[in-house]
Amino acid sequence: MKALDTWERVLLALIVAVYVGFGAGIDGFLSPYAVADSTYNVSEKALIALAMALLVVAGEIDLSIAATMALASLAMGFAMKAGAPLPVMLAVAAVTGAACGALNGWLVTRWKLPSIVVTIGTLSLYRGLAQVVLGDQAITGYPETLSTWGNGSVGDVIGVPWLIVPIEFVVLLVAALAVGLFLHRTVHGRRLYAIGANPVASRFSGIAVDRYRFGLFVFAGLMAALAAVLLTGRIGSTRPNLAMGWELDAVTIVILGGVAIEGGRGSIVGTVLAAVLLGSFTFALGMLNVSGIVMSMIVGALLIGAMVLPRGVRHLRTRFA
């Protein structure tokens, strides 16, 4: 099966190794409730990683995606304080995310600026806006429904207590299926690979390269808004440091999942498996009381290793061929 080629098999083996290894050393790590809890460590980051994967396949990147989450959550919080009902709050978050993505896309496609430079700038802009507006305050008092979406299980919704699969994880699976079908089973997906491999040739072959790029940035903003809604519901508040540093985690998941940073290659299956691997690994470290800074160091090392390892393997194959 093409979706489970060599690298995806390696990721599957690593996931099994993490669960078996830590399961043998940590009491309760393999219990159904612990496994369900570990998916909370994955779902929101994986949602923004799906959008990031599409961008990287097309040769772009969005480093402002976590800051967009903070701004979408802030907008949702202000809508709540203004007395808006839940559907309006969600719409405000979605519009804010889409607007942030559209600004990134407009700067990249209209002014031909490198996406990495543009999104470093908008990262500071979006995060700074959230911090200036909120200061050291937090917005709380969200509706109970939002908390259920962020913390509840499918069993809570349908009245089957033993079904402890978190709602967030189901949302991730549905989103991954939709994005995977789009990328791997549609003409538009094949065009993204072509754009990432050679944008000039793609333009000459009649592909509307800038339109696709703009659409991908808007989609990234919408996925950031969706992740922000779930995260805000899970923690019950909007904070200026919400999802701080998650852009690094999203990039790590994408690269670890086998998506080539230079564009043109990669799969959604690999991205989801990398998210599960990273989430389960950091969840296990959390159960061992490993500090956050050490986890950040490990994520950084994984990012470097994920970029260096494939090049090292290709070098060895060339040398000994």
pLDDT at 117 (0 to 100): 96
Q: What is the pLDDT of residues 24-45, one digit of tens each?
A: 989 889 999 999 988 987 899 9
Q: What is the pLDDT of residues 61-78, one digit of tens each?
A: 999 999 999 999 999 999
pLDDT at 4 (0 to 100): 53
* 22 within domain boundaries: no
Please answer whether residues 238 and 74 qualify as being in contact, where contact means their C-beta atoms are separated by less than 8 angstroms. Answer: yes
Confidence label for 1 from pLDDT (cuts 50, 70 and 90): very low
pLDDT at 2 (0 to 100): 54
Give the range among 174-183, 205-214, 301-310 with minimum mean pLDDT: 301-310
Confidence label for 135 from pLDDT (cuts 50, 70 and 90): confident
Is the pLDDT score of 130 beyond 90? yes
* 33 within domain boundaries: no
Closest CA to 43 of 305, 229, 241: 229
Per-residue tokens: 310: 């494939």
Same domain assignment for residues 192 and 314: no
**How many Cβ atoms from other residues are within 10 Å of residue 85's Cβ?**
10
Sign of CA dihedral 140, 143, 144, 145: negative
State percent of the chain over pLDDT 90.
72
Domain count, the chain: 2
Is the pLDDT score of 3 beyond 70? no
* 15 within domain boundaries: no
* 282 within domain boundaries: no
Which residue range(s) make up the domain with 67?
Answer: 41-269
Same domain assignment for residues 93 and 237: yes
